[in-house]
Structure 1
Amino acid sequence: MTMQNQLWFNPEQSLTYAELCNTLYERELARLALSPPEQLPFLPRRLKSLPFYVREAATLILQFPSPLTLDSQNACWLHSQSKQCPVPHVDESASIFSYYSKSAKLGLLVPVYVQPHGAQQQGVQQIVLDSVDEIDRDGQRIHCNEHGWFALAGWPQEPDNQHKLLLKPSKSVLTAVCCGHQWRNGERKTPRLLSLREMLLASRLNWQNFAKPHASRPDELRPGRVK
């Protein structure tokens, strides 16, 4: 699978690119194999587009390096894990509101804290990455592609996301996101591997300015394409 923009890769990058493509492809195929029955009609289209998104993710990862250590053989980033989940332990809604009031725009990458709830009270804490796909300036809220509506101050706005919180991006928060760090009952758990969609999002992070993520192809993250 050769791409036009692979021509600028040096030999080491070409090897890394191949490792990333192989691992991402295998991992996503395994995930698609577990698709619920209601998703089976969409499976042929997703399989058809899979090579494109795998190549896109691998290219973006090499084009926009992060300060984290890349493990290309396992298609993941590595960094030491903090003892506790880096979610704010004090009310930071004013700071979050200030950030999103100024920086909210379509395509902005945002971290969302997910805490155990309901039958999952003993589940894991984690922070995941999403992107803004709608902005309601009058209502002072933004809609995240996967996790729904949040107030600009970070509070959830829908019944289905009451166990979530929109966070302000920071290096510690986004390190936890990209490395798949997890915690349970205040203890560190084994990091999870990110999905292809999450890798596509994370590869666009601009670590010098989180409010200005790197560009991607316009149709890359439309709902229904990579989930």
Structure 2
Amino acid sequence: MRQLTPENIALLWKAKQYGFSDIQIAQAWKKTELEVRNLRKQAGVLPVFKLVDTCAAEFEAYTPYYYSCYEIPPLTVRKGQPPVPVHESEVRKTGNPTVMILGGGANRIGQGIEFDYCCCHAAFALRDAGFDTVMVNSNPETVSTDYDTSTRLYFEPLTFENILNIVEVEQPVGVIVQFGGQTPLNLALRLEAAGVPILGTSPESIDKTEDRKFFWQFSE
């Protein structure tokens, strides 16, 4: 695909609604993931975040659990002006400075509950310091995804695409990757290159210590 024709934009909407990631679309279109992301944003194909209705519509839910979806935004028409698409996000922000914490995702060999413990205590410490905490994790069986651990919780896959989507909505002062284990650590360099502020240990230092051969030479 070279041009954003109406047909291609409609195809892009359908692909995202069917769950295709940017990197999968990039492979089909022979582009990079960031090129597809830029095309998608240029076309207005953006995710919106919805609140999980924990009360089954019986009464209003206030638990800040969010998930993303791709819905074609309705048009708002004002007299004398062209129709404008309005993305209906349900994210409730407080206005306080925000720090995002990346969780560990699914428990598996080499990555378990010890990282979740670290994420929880990071959230508690940041809350005591006056920050809103945003937890990103895809594992509902962990303590970090409890309703009272963070200010807002996003049930999203820990991928480059999904994290950038949340960063663009939340605009955090920084992102903490060091407490979630291998999954967020592997994303640190790419996130920093995309302009995401990484708090704590620099991605370059993380990358060096993850390189066993380099770390062995450094330790000698």
Normalised by the size of structure 1, how large is the TM-score?
A: 0.26
TM-score relative to the length of structure 2: 0.26
Question: Looking at CA atoms only, which structure, 1 or 2, has the larger radius of gyration?
Answer: 2
